[in-house]
């Protein structure tokens, strides 16, 4: 004997209750959409003014390059950490939603070219390895490509 599904006609009461529940869901979810960056398809995104951040970024980048010229493992590590913080600062200036740098990078894929986006991730992966692995030693041949990756990504944001 086969399973039969009864198809009910939607009554007026059912339609009203459904409409009320959908309205409540919209009221509850709208603040979260605003907080975490989900926008209505028709909404216009306001342009971001990062002229102040551009000068800040250029000054910070000079400090990072000075750290790289000083040499030794601790300076390389500090340069990578500072470059990651600078990229995060710029993502925040571009109002990228997310709680962590990784979240902000994921939500900012449209702000980069394909190469710039991959460079940002590659630099951030080196930073994560440095921070989360106590045995990790930053060397010249690891730090220089990471800094170059951060440079590519930062140049696309400023």
In tens, the pLDDT along 102-128 reads: 899 999 888 889 999 999 999 999 999
Which residue ranges form the domains of the chain, and what is each CATH number? 51-157 (1.20.120)
Place 41 in a pLDDT band, splitting at 50, 70 and 90: very low
In tens, the pLDDT along 71-100 reads: 889 999 999 999 999 999 988 888 888 889
Q: Is residue 147 pLDDT above 90, yes or no?
A: yes
DSSP-derived secondary structure for the chain: -----PPPPPPHHHHHHHHHHHHHHHHHHHHHHHHTT---TTPPPPPP--HHHHHHHHHHHHHHHHHHHH-SHHHHHHHHHHHHHHHHHHHHHTT---SSHHHHHHHTGGGS-HHHHHHHHHHHHHHHHHHH-TT----HHHHHHHHHHHHHHHHHH-
Give this prediction's pTM.
0.67
């Amino acid at each position: 004997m086969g399973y039969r599904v009864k198809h009910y006609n939607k009554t007026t009461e059912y339609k009203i209750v459904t409409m009320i529940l959908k309205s409540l869901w919209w009221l509850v979810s709208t603040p979260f959409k605003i907080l975490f960056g989900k926008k209505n398809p028709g909404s216009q995104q306001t342009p971001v003014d990062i002229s102040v951040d551009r000068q800040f970024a250029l000054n910070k980048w000079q400090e990072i390059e000075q750290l790289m010229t000083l040499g030794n493992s601790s300076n390389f590590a500090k340069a990578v950490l500072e470059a990651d913080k600078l990229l995060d600062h710029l993502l925040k200036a571009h109002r990228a939603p997310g709680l962590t740098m990784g979240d902000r990078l994921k939500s900012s894929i449209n702000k980069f070219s394909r190469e710039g986006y991959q460079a940002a991730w590659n630099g951030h992966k080196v930073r994560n390895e440095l921070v989360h692995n106590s045995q990790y030693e930053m060397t010249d041949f690891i730090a220089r490509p990471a800094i170059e990756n951060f440079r590519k990504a930062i140049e696309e944001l400023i």
